[in-house]
Amino acid sequence: MGPRCRRVFLLLLCLPTGGAFPAAAQGAKPKTPLLRQLFPELTGRNGYEEFVAAADLIDNEDRAIRAASQPSAMLAQKHALLADARCAQALYLLRRGLRKPIASPRESLSPETLFPEAGAFRDLARLLQVEQYVLLADGRTRDAIQSLRDGLRFGDAIQTDALISGLVGIACSTIILQQFGEHLDQLSATDCELLFNVCREWLAEPGPLHRVLRAEWRIGREALSHLAKQLELPTDPPGGRPDEGTPEERLPRDFAEMARRRTAFLTELERAGHLYDDYFARLLQQLGRPAWERSLPDMGADDSASARLVETLSVPVQRTLDSYTRERALVQLLACHAAIRRYHWEFGRLPASLGELRLGDLAVDPFTGQPLHYVGRGREYDLSSVGPQVGEDNPNAVNGRLPVVLGR
């Protein structure tokens, strides 16, 4: 749930925000380790425990990791980071976690659920990025491909909860993919085959999008239930005409007016629940279609308080789906790069088209259903996806879309 929605619910519920910023509230008190925050009792059977333990290990290394992951960082700096015992142990724990079942540390979700591990997980992805660079620099390409595979699996595995966990997972995968895309010229023919199979393996998995959106659905439902149980409406409506302001500004006035009629309020809230359930049911149904064939549901033209509440609860669906489709496009591009370079090793030239490679759906742009853009020029070539639709004011837009390119 986004910041806009949280602001609205804080306004409606009149809840104190203490506890959301513990470091500021408690001054110099030492920070509680993430593992203790999220797992009061360890099971040893949940790989997420290892992920969080790894995050704790690099808690004081975040600046060093981010510095070493910069393009300007020297190889010696990257080697030094990986030689650090805490970083080495963090990578070991991450991989041990991947060998176990993964479950969320949160038993329930609400609009105020915090995800304190999110930033540290991105740093773990950056640590893998540094590891890949060093492995490639040392000529250990097969180990670098395995590191890529671990990074992609980690990016999916941490998507156990709501949309925020999904976006963090995608960010982790993108960090890993872009790094590898800059070193494709180091791959042997055998490396290309191995990389191609890693990409195909990832693309064959069902992916976490359904479970992330279902978790977001549960969060909205929990918010509506919380309103029904605890909302205390003001006795006097705030000033302003009922039709003035944005939907968020009008929402408190709408419910304040309803305070005089409890039955009307509960009816409106119940209707919001039905609208919300119907919206998500239709949305999840559309996910079974390719991105270019989806017809995303809307909230309808209803301007009632319940419809506006549902709109406030809803996630930015198109941007969310574009993020997942972009991630898929990056993996497909990497697979195609591997196939192109394997072809070059075999025949000493580039393919005239992707059709020569017989890649099937791997060469289909996930945004449009058309072939990925490929143009060969001697020993060089261009490969890209048209990307998602964006506003024409975007300086990087090409024909109203933001192209997806690997390794630039």
Cα–Cα dist 148/132, whole Å: 7
Q: Which two tokens stand for residue 197?
A: 């199979």
Cα–Cα dist 309/252, whole Å: 10
Cα–Cα dist 284/317, whole Å: 11
Please write down the long-range contacts of 166-170, taking CB distance under 8 Å and 24 or more positions apart.
166/208, 166/209, 166/212, 166/320, 166/323, 166/324, 167/320, 167/323, 168/115, 168/118, 168/121, 168/122, 169/208, 170/323, 170/324, 170/326, 170/327
Going by C-alpha positions, the residue among 236, 186, 244, 202 that lies closest to residue 329 is 202
Cα–Cα dist 164/225, whole Å: 21
Cα–Cα dist 401/317, whole Å: 17
Q: Where are the domains of the chain?
A: 32-207, 233-315, 325-408
Cα–Cα dist 1/10, whole Å: 13
For position 16, what pLDDT does the model report? Answer: 30
> DSSP secondary-structure letter at 19?
T
Q: Which two tokens stand for residue 45?
A: 């059977």
Q: Which two tokens stand for residue 124?
A: 């773990």
Cα–Cα dist 78/61, whole Å: 13
Task: Quote the pTM value.
Answer: 0.83
Q: Which two tokens stand for residue 305?
A: 């308080």
Whether 161 and 109 have beta carbons less than 8 Å apart is answered as yes
How many C-alpha atoms does 135 have within 13 Å on its Cβ side? 18
Whether 109 and 222 have beta carbons less than 8 Å apart is answered as yes
Going by C-alpha positions, the residue among 198, 136, 140 that lies closest to residue 173 is 198
Residue with tokens 């992330």: 212
Cα–Cα dist 269/255, whole Å: 10
Q: Which two tokens stand for residue 292?
A: 């270019």
Q: Report mean pLDDT in 10-residue bins for the chain, 408 residues.
A: 41 31 44 92 96 94 92 96 97 98 90 89 97 97 98 97 92 93 94 98 94 91 80 50 66 64 74 90 92 84 77 84 97 98 96 96 97 92 95 88 87
**Residue 385 backbone dihedrals phi, psi, to 5 degrees:** -105, 150
Whether 238 and 252 have beta carbons less than 8 Å apart is answered as yes
Q: Which two tokens stand for residue 196?
A: 């191609």
Cα–Cα dist 387/319, whole Å: 12
For position 317, what pLDDT does the model report? Answer: 87
Burial environment of residue 239 by CB neighbours within 10 A (0 to 12, 13 to 18, 19 or more): exposed
Cα–Cα dist 127/135, whole Å: 12
CB crowding 157-191: b at 16 or more within 10 Å, else e: bbbbbbbbbbbbbbbbbbbbbbbbbebbeebeeeb
Please write down the long-range contacts of 389-396, taking CB distance under 8 Å and 24 or more positions apart.
none
DSSP SS3 for 30? coil
